[in-house]
Amino acid sequence: MKKFSLIFFLFFSACSSPSPGLNSCKYVREAVDGDTARLADGRLVRYIGIDTPETRKKINNVWKEDFQPWAGEAKAFNRSLTEGKCVEIETDAEPVDKYGRILGYVFIDGKLVNEELLKQGYAVLYTRPPNIRYSQRFITAQKYARENKKGLWGDYETIDSDSAFKYVGQIRSVQGTVRSTYRSEKCIFLNFGANWKTDFTAVIFSSSLPSFKAKGIDPAVFYKNKKVEVTGRIREYNGPEIIVNIPEEIIVLDN
């Protein structure tokens, strides 16, 4: 009994010792999907800076299992890294989201799980200000995955902006020419068609503009009439749209 107690004490002590800049070690009960984990105390951790394909869909206000392409692989990879293990969680400017989930950078054995998911092609960039501490590392990780056709990058076909409506809810890369732009009080809209109410649009919120300004880019001017590729989750709001948070989420294909 004494031997068991000693082993438990040593395990608990090692798992509870915080690293510099990190919260104490937390036990992961389960990997919920590719970018979310549930801790032993029931709290959810949403990984900062990335987005992975969804494992479920809301139908008639009820969530049902519905695996998008690469959702299962992303969840399995997250599980292999975190489930049943102790992880250290680092928060950024916003420690929780509007749903009460912890917003975290998840570390285990010296690895940043958020970054690993990007590097292996199971996730795409979703870096939203003000939570941008590791954005440059994430940009580099996605570039590596894309260049080496890792995961979804070796499988997903780029779609044209006219077809974006077919993929609402999914992560995709969309190509097209920015026909017009519009600057409102809250956003800049990059319109890919003649009808902004039905055609594909890339949306940049005002809170994200500093990252563009830092690179000398005024989105309303710079992207107009250029052929570009935008990667992210396609949403439905006055037609299909992708919310863009940093310049690296838009690739200019011509000048």
Long-range contact set of residues 208-211: C-beta below 8 Å, sequence gap at least 24 = 208/128, 208/129, 208/244, 208/245, 208/246, 210/129, 211/129, 211/132, 211/245, 211/246, 211/247
Q: Which of 38, 43, 101, 183 is catalytic?
A: 101
Angle at 23 between CA 55 and CA 116, to 5 degrees: 45
**Position 151, amino acid:** G
Please say if 46 is a catalytic residue: yes
Contacts of 216 (CB under 8 A, 6+ apart): none
- Which residues does residue 241 pair with via DSSP β-bridges, in sequence order? 201, 235
Q: How far apart are CA 86 and CA 29, in angstroms?
A: 9
Q: How far apart are CA 170 and CA 232, in angstroms?
A: 8
Which two tokens mark 18? 């915080």
Which two tokens mark 40? 């032993």
Chain-centroid distance of CA 229 in Å reads: 17
- Which residues does residue 204 pair with via DSSP β-bridges, in sequence order? 188
User: Which residue in this structure is represented by tokens 């017009």?
Assistant: 180
Q: Which of 54, 115, 116, 249 is catalytic?
A: 54
Q: What count of other Cβ atoms lies within 10 Å of the Cβ of residue 11?
A: 11
Q: How far apart are CA 154 and CA 102, in angstroms?
A: 31
Distance between first and last Cα of the chain: 72
Catalytic residue set: 46, 54, 101
